[in-house]
């Protein structure tokens, strides 16, 4: 991305972020609850922080520090965030991470390193109106890139992405749906699904030096770290840049090798953000169920022709909802598309489809 373009988009991101930051006690309490099992520092979880009711001054001081950090470093021209981020790890429960230990010799296959800095990972707690924040930046980005697509972006448009995909397939409405490195391009009633390749390492290169203030440096590249406030945003901006550089024909032909390529399985099933539309565009179905165990060695051998019973903690009502969702319906026969289309932009987050299928009443607290 040319430096002039990158600087213009970063300027819009800076303005939207600084304008949107505020201490909203109710939202901060909600944010703590949503992230209660996530770390804010090695060995410290969000649930261990004081609530605004307990210590509002703590949160006001945090915001002052965060604003100063963003202006002095994250959004400072020419600043490169190549200092050490606090490391953490997503891991299985039988592994132990000790506060203060910076290196581990691990013989495991499912641990993922997470790099985060509190002054970058706490920003989200002070952005209560995520829709406005995302809207300002994405709108500025599409304008700067000259994109005229009918664009849908879940954190800005909420559940409209699901009804939009149905209309794009059934009514042949040209539409582009993007979230992070996931690009779904609909043309003439056909879906072209593309995924970014190694996107965490590609985004820093695509966006360039102006964006280095919230990236972490290792191996000769500036990478998007996990856990910081702008991961989804910057991943999406980079995807929009690639979209702006490719013609419709190039997207339909498979994108760019090793950068953004066709996701063939998604394309074959008309899969879009948790739903498959191939059976009936107006009756999309829940697609894919991940079955996992906490311990790699916790397995059972099933003899040929044998049967294994998989148990879960889901209630009978939830199990019934799972079953019908795989047929595109709720237990009362209503298409799940109707429920999912009601998801607001500010509600949107990862796992929202599963949550709404399992409990379609967003006001319920259980």
* Per-residue pLDDT tens digits for 156-190: 999 999 999 999 999 999 999 999 999 999 999 99
* Per-residue pLDDT tens digits for 288-338: 655 444 454 556 778 888 887 777 777 888 889 888 999 999 999 999 999
* 310 within some domain: no
60 and 91 share one domain: yes
107 and 211 share one domain: yes
Domain coverage including residue 221: 1-305
* 364 within some domain: no
243 and 142 share one domain: yes
* 157 within some domain: yes
170 and 248 share one domain: yes
305: region left, alpha or beta (phi > 0 left; psi from -120 to 50 alpha): left
280 and 354 share one domain: no
* 55 within some domain: yes
Residue by residue, what is the 3-state secondary structure of the chain? Answer: CCHHHHHHHHHHHHHHHHHHCCCCHHHHHHHHHHCCCCEEECCEEHHHCCCCCCCHHHHHHHHHHHHHHHHHHHCCCCCCCCCCCEEEEECCCCCCCCCCCCCCCCCCCCCEEEEECHHHHCHHHHCCCHHHHHHHHHHHHHHHHCCCCCEECHHHHCCHHHHHHHHHHHCCCCEEEEECCEEEEEECCEEEEEEECCHHHHHHHHHCHHHHHHCEEECCEEECCCCCCCHHHHHHHHHHHHHHHCCHHHHHHCEECCCEEECHHHHHHCEECCEECCCCCCCCEECCCCCCCCCCCCCCCCCCCCCCCCCCCCCHHHHHHHHHHCCCECCCCCEHHHHHCCCCCCCCCCCHHHHHHHCCCCCCCC
* 12 within some domain: yes
* Per-residue pLDDT tens digits for 22-80: 999 999 999 999 888 888 877 788 999 999 999 999 999 999 999 999 998 889 877 88
* 202 within some domain: yes
- What's the structural domain count of the chain? 2
The pTM of the full predicted model, rounded to 2 decimals, is 0.86
């Amino acid at each position: 991305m040319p430096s002039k373009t990158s600087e213009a988009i970063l300027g819009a991101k800076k303005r939207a972020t600084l304008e949107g930051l505020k201490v909203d006690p109710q939202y901060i309490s909600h944010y703590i609850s949503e992230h209660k099992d996530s770390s804010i520092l090695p060995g410290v979880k969000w649930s261990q922080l004081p609530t605004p009711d307990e210590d509002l001054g703590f949160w006001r001081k945090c915001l002052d520090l965060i604003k100063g950090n963003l202006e002095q470093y994250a959004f400072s021209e020419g600043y490169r965030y190549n200092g050490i981020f606090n490391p953490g790890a997503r891991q299985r429960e039988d592994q132990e991470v000790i506060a203060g230990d910076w290196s581990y010799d691990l013989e495991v296959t499912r641990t993922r390193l997470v790099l985060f800095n509190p002054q970058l990972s706490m920003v989200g707690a002070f952005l209560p109106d995520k829709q406005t924040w995302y809207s300002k930046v994405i709108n500025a980005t599409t304008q700067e890139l000259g994109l005229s697509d009918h664009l849908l972006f879940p954190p800005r448009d909420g559940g409209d992405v699901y009804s939009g995909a149905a209309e794009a397939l059934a009514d042949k409405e040209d539409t582009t749906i993007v979230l992070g490195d996931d690009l779904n391009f609909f043309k003439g009633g056909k879906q072209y699904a593309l995924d970014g390749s190694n996107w965490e390492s590609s985004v820093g290169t695509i966006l360039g030096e102006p964006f280095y203030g919230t990236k972490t440096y290792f191996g000769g590249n500036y990478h998007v770290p996990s856990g910081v406030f702008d991961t989804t945003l910057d991943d999406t901006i980079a995807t929009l840049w690639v979209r702006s550089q490719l013609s419709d024909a190039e997207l339909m032909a498979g994108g760019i090798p090793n950068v953004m390529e066709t996701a063939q399985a998604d394309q074959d099933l008309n899969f879009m953000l948790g739903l498959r539309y191939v059976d009936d565009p107006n009756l999309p179905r829940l697609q894919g169920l991940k079955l996992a165990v906490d311990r790699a060695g916790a397995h059972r051998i099933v003899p040929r022709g044998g049967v294994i019973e998989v148990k879960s903690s889901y209630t009978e009502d939830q199990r019934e909802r799972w079953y019908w969702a795989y047929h595109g319906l709720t237990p009362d026969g209503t298409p799940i598309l109707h429920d999912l289309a009601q998801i607001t932009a500010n509600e949107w987050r990862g796992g929202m489809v599963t949550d709404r299928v399992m409990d379609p009443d967003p006001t319920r607290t259980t």
